[in-house]
Structure 1
Amino acid sequence: MLQTPSGGAGNGAAADTGLMSIGAVLNMLREEFPEVTISKIRFLESEGLIEPQRTPSGYRKFSGGDVERLGHVLRMQRDHYLPLKVIREHLAAMERGEAVPLPVLGRPGDAEAGDESASDGPTAARIGRGQLMAAAGVDERTLAEWESYGLLTPVEDGVYDAEAVTVAGLITELGRSGIEPRHLRAMKAAADREAGLVDQVVAPLRRHRNPQTRAHAEARTKELAALTVKLHAALVQSALGVRLP
């Protein structure tokens, strides 16, 4: 459970209202969600999943309830791989006072086991093409354009890794600032090179005879991935001469 600070300038909260800046919210969420970004929070706001207050000058101010709601949304994405449309409907039902369980989505092998509903939902780590377009709010033509630039690639016919939802959301938000998909090819190429470097380091662990060593490979991959993301962010900030909150 996320803990909401009681206020004070040190954490970005207004002492008289208890409202927090987006930077303070980001710091709170990163304890549980280390990969969350300000862009991600803004994207979820643009999708209507949160509605922070605005100051007269336009700055976002988040309440403790907003932070709890954000945490709930991020958990549904991380743990259940739910598309935004489903999350939005779930939250709306909760606001109406309905006792609604989280949707049960298909997992690998469900269809073979005779579960007819399995074909309608993503697997534990996969999402269908239609669900991806619904979550990102784009049509077939837009998704095809993204694929043509290598920004999104299905893991198999019509099926994507669940992280594709986050990628699609960020592409959409960058597009609102005039950064088109064709401009992002260099970023994708850099990400592929970084991933290749991590794979190169972890490969000996994956090939090891000891099962525990092979299991350690996944944890090591996540650790190195987090470090490369932080380094990439620091390099971009340094190149631009700015510092993100």
Structure 2
Amino acid sequence: MSIGAVLAALKPEFPAVTISKLRFLEEQGLVQPHRSGSGYRMYSRADAERIRYALTAQRDSYLPLRIIREQLADLDAGRGVEPLSHARMVTRDGELVAPATGARVSAREVCELTGATEAELDEMAQAGLVLADTRGRFPGRAVQVVQAVLALRRHGISPRHLRTVRTSAEREADVIDQVVAPLRAQRSGAARERSAAQAAELAELYARLHAELLRTAVDQLG
């Protein structure tokens, strides 16, 4: 199959996959397609399945490519690969379906949706990354937080190392609160709605700025 045919076969299951992603997986040694006489990549069915395995491991288990590469090597050698817990997130048109932002979910539900163990969730709570109410229920957004923390943990970054991220977020939220406080103080429902919308917009801008500054800092690492 050509790279275009492989992309077309994978798109229904992985809507975000691109030709650049397929080339990147090749550069990382996860797949080695043959080359035609004209130099075009030609993929076998086995190549396509290796790509599907890698994309699934990244999407469902947030595994780094190093681990995926090791698992593929084990499978190539006939060795078994220990199954990992998977986040039981439902998808619709390629988008994750998570609890609504205002929803409250139990610790058990968070674990079921993310694949985290109760011990892992408790460690995140102790680090202040997720907070339960007096009934032991978490906000719906905790699901995305736990997923991100689990992904970072597989790279060797533990929850206690992420306290500075939480502290930074709290400081930024304080600044946003100062900006929207005049609107929120008004009694009209319309003003409060505008306050909430402005706070959400500012949060997105802060997130974009943080992401770009982080990318810049990483680029400077050489």
Cα separation, partners in 2 of 1:70 and 1:139, compared to 1, 3 Å: closer
Task: Write the distance in 2 (CA, Å) between the matches of 1:241 and 1:223.
Answer: 27
Q: CA deviation at 1:42?
A: 7.0
Task: Write the distance in 2 (CA, Å) between the matches of 1:139 and 1:42.
Answer: 18
Q: CA deviation at 1:156?
A: 3.3
Q: RMSD across aligned C-alpha pairs, in angstroms?
A: 3.4
Q: Which runs of 5+ in 1 are unaligned?
A: 1-13, 28-40, 48-53, 58-68, 83-122
- Overall identity of the aligned pairs, in %: 32
The 5 Å alignment of 1:1-245 reads 15-19=4-8, 25=16, 44-46=59-61, 70-72=91-93, 74=95, 76-77=97-98, 81=99, 125-241=103-219
Q: Which moved more, 1:200-209 or 1:222-231?
A: 200-209
Q: Given that residues 43 and 170 in structure 1 are in contact (C-alpha distance below 8 angstroms), is that contact kept between their aligned partners in structure 2?
A: no
1:98 matched to which residue of 2?
A: none
TM (norm. structure 2) is 0.59
Q: Given that residues 102 and 139 in structure 2 are in contact (C-alpha distance below 8 angstroms), is that contact kept between their aligned partners in structure 1?
A: no
Cα separation, partners in 2 of 1:200 and 1:26, compared to 1, 3 Å: farther
Task: Write the distance in 2 (CA, Å) between the matches of 1:226 and 1:146.
Answer: 23
Q: Secondary structure at the match of 1:25?
A: coil
Task: Write the distance in 1 (CA, Å) between the matches of 2:130 and 2:57.
Answer: 21
1:38 matched to which residue of 2?
A: none
TM (norm. structure 1) is 0.54
Task: Write the distance in 1 (CA, Å) between the matches of 2:181 and 2:159.
Answer: 32
Cα separation, partners in 2 of 1:130 and 1:238, compared to 1, 3 Å: same
Deviation by residue 1:44-97 (Cα, 9 ceiling, x = unmatched): 4327xxxxxx9xx9xxxxxxxxxxx854463532xxx18xxxxxxxxxxxxxxx
Greater CA radius of gyration, 1 or 2?
A: 2
Task: Write the distance in 2 (CA, Å) between the matches of 1:165 and 1:140.
Answer: 13
Q: CA deviation at 1:25?
A: 2.1
Task: Write the distance in 2 (CA, Å) between the matches of 1:133 and 1:183.
Answer: 21
